[in-house]
Chains A and B, each alone.
Chain A
Amino acid sequence: MAKTHVTMKVNGTEVEGLVEPRTLLVHFVRENLGMTGTHIGCETTHCGACTVDIDGMSVKSCTMFAVQAQGSDITTVEGMANADGTLSALQEGFRMMHGLQCGFCTPGMIVRAHRLLKENPSPSEPEIRMGISGNICRCTGYQNIVKAIQYAAAKINGVEFQEAAE
C-alpha cells in the first residue's frame, strides 16, 4: 500500500513521516517519532492510556489514523513539563499526592487532566471523576489521582491545596 507523507506539530516541533493510511496515530508517535511516553493499553478505545491532546481535544490515539492528524497540533506527555524543564502543576500533583503506582495509565491521565483543567480550572470532585472517566487505572482506586488533579487545580489558581478529610 502506497505511503502518505504527513506533517504535524508535536510538542511544539514540526515533524513529518511516511505512513500507510492504516497506521494508527499512537503507532506513528511511538514508532516513527520514538516518543514512547504515550502508552498502548487496551487498543480498544476503553482505557485512555494512549490519550494525546490534538488541537485542544483529548483523543485516544489508538482510534485515529496518523493521516487524519495531518496539519494538527499535538501535545503528548513528553510535552507536559514547563518550558524550563521543571514539573508542571499536574506532574507535581501526581508526585506529591502519590497519584500513581505502576504508572502505566499516568501519561494518559496527565494529558487528559491537562485538557480538563484548561476547560474547567476549578472542577468539583465529581467533575474530575467524570472528566477522567475515559481513563482506567488498575492500581490506585483513583483516590490519589483525583487528589493530584485537585492539587494541580489549586496550584494553577494560586490557592493553597486543602486535602479533603476522609
Chain B
Amino acid sequence: MIPGSFSYHRPASIADAVKLLSDLGEDARPLAGGHSLVPMMKLRLATPAHLIDLHGIAALKGIRRDGQNLVIGAMTTQHELLASDDVARAMPILHEAALLIADPQVRYRGTIGGNVANGDPGNDMPALMMTLGASYRLEGASGARGVAAADFYRGAYFTALEPGEILASVTIPLPAAGHGYAYEKLKRKVGDYATAAAAVVLTMSGGKVATCTIGLTNVHETPLLAIDAAKAVIGTSLDAATLKTAAAAAEAIMAPAADARGPVEYRKHVGGIMVTRALQRAASVAK
C-alpha cells in the first residue's frame, strides 16, 4: 500500500499552481485534502508523476460573504464548513450535509473543492451545489471562468475542468429567508457513500410549496437535478398523492449501478424514499 514515486510541488499562489499544471501536463495532478487521491495512489489506481499540493495557497482558503452569496475557497475543509457560523446561519443544509460526509478525521482534511471537482458520483456536495444554484470559479493559464454546478458534471470523474485548470472557489447564492431544507442520505455506515441521497431546498407560502429544487446523489453517473419531481410539488401542500408523484418522477431519471449497496431496483426505490423524506422535512422547517 505504498504509492508510486512522484515529484512533490507546493506552490504558494494560484498562478504558480496553474503554471505547474500546464507545464507538467497530464502527468501532474493537483492535491487538495488527498482523501480521494491518496487512497487511489496507494492502490496504484492513480500514478501521477507530479503532485501539486494546494495547501500552501492562502487564497484558496476561507469563507466570506459577498453580497447575496457565500464564497468558499476550494481548500476550505469540511471541518471548517462545520465550524462556520455563516454557513450554519445562512445555509444550514450545507452544515447538515458536511456532517454526513465521511468521519471526523477525514473532515479535518477533506475539502469542498476536492469534493466537488473530483467528479465522483458518490460525493455529497455536487448534488447539493446543483440544488443551491452554486457556480465554480475555474482558473487556468488563459484566465478564470465561472461554470454553473449544474453544467459542470459530464460523467463519472469527467467534468468541465480543462487540462491545466484548477477549481479555485465555490459561489453559492444565499437561499431565501425562511426556506426549508433537508439532505436525506441513506448509507450503510458512517463513512460510506450514499446508497441514495436527496437534497431539497424549498419555500412555502400559505401552506403550499412556492419554489422547490431537488438534487440527487449517487443514483446516476453524475449528480442530478430532479426537475420534474420539483415541478410536481409546486403549488401543493405535499399531500400523499403529490409525494408519490414526485418520488416516481425522481426515480424515473435515476440510473444507479448495482453494487454492494444493492441492486438497481432497490437503490431507485430508496432514492424515491429519500426524496419523499427530504420534501417532508424541508416543508416542516420552512417558515
A residues contacting B by CB (< 8 A) are 1, 4, 20-22, 24, 27, 43-46, 48, 51, 57-60, 62-65, 67-68, 112, 116, 130-134
Contacts and interface: CB of A to CB of B under 8 A. Distances in A.
Interface in B178-220: 190-191
12 contacts: A1-B5, A43-B1, A46-B191, A48-B105, A51-B105, A57-B109, A58-B105, A60-B106, A60-B109, A63-B109, A64-B34, A64-B38
Interface string B71-91: 000000001000000000000
Given A45-B35, A45-B39, A64-B34, A133 B103 contact: yes
B177 interface: no
Contacts, number: 80
Size class of the B contact interface (CB-based, 8 Å): 20 to 34
B142 interface: no
Nearest to A43: B1
Contacts of A24: 2-3, 42
Nearest to B43: A44
B228 interface: no
Interface string B8-43: 100000000000000000000000001100110110
Contacts of A130: 104, 190
Q: Which of B7, B42, B103 has most chain A Cβ within 10 Å?
A: B103
Contacts of A68: 34, 53, 55
Contacts of B79: 57
Interface in B80-122: 102-106, 108-109
A133 B7 CA distance: 34
Nearest to B53: A68
B6 interface: yes
A70 to B, nearest CB: 8
Contact of B190 (A4, A27, A116, A133): A133
B237 to A, nearest CB: 33
B108 A59 contact: yes
At the interface, is chain A mostly helix, strand, loop or mixed? mixed
At the interface, is chain B mostly helix, strand, loop or mixed? mixed
A19 to B, nearest CB: 10
Contacts of A21: 5-8, 51
B263 interface: no
Contacts of A57: 79, 108-109
B155 interface: no
Contacts of A44: 1, 39, 42
B55 A134 contact: no
A112 B5 CA distance: 30
A22 B37 CA distance: 13
A4 B5 CA distance: 13
B53 A22 contact: no
A155 to B, nearest CB: 22
Contacts of B1: 43-44, 62
B4 interface: yes
Given A22-B6, A57-B109, 12 more contacts: A4-B8, A21-B5, A21-B7, A24-B2, A45-B39, A45-B106, A57-B79, A60-B105, A68-B53, A68-B55, A112-B104, A133-B190
Contacts of A27: 2
A6 to B, nearest CB: 11
Contact of B35 (A1, A63, A65, A132): A63
Nearest to B190: A133
Contacts of A48: 103, 105
Nearest to B51: A21
Given A63-B109, A133-B104, A22 B5 contact: yes
A134 B191 contact: yes
B8 A112 contact: no
Contact of A112 (B53, B55, B105): B105
A57 B79 CA distance: 9
B104 A131 contact: yes
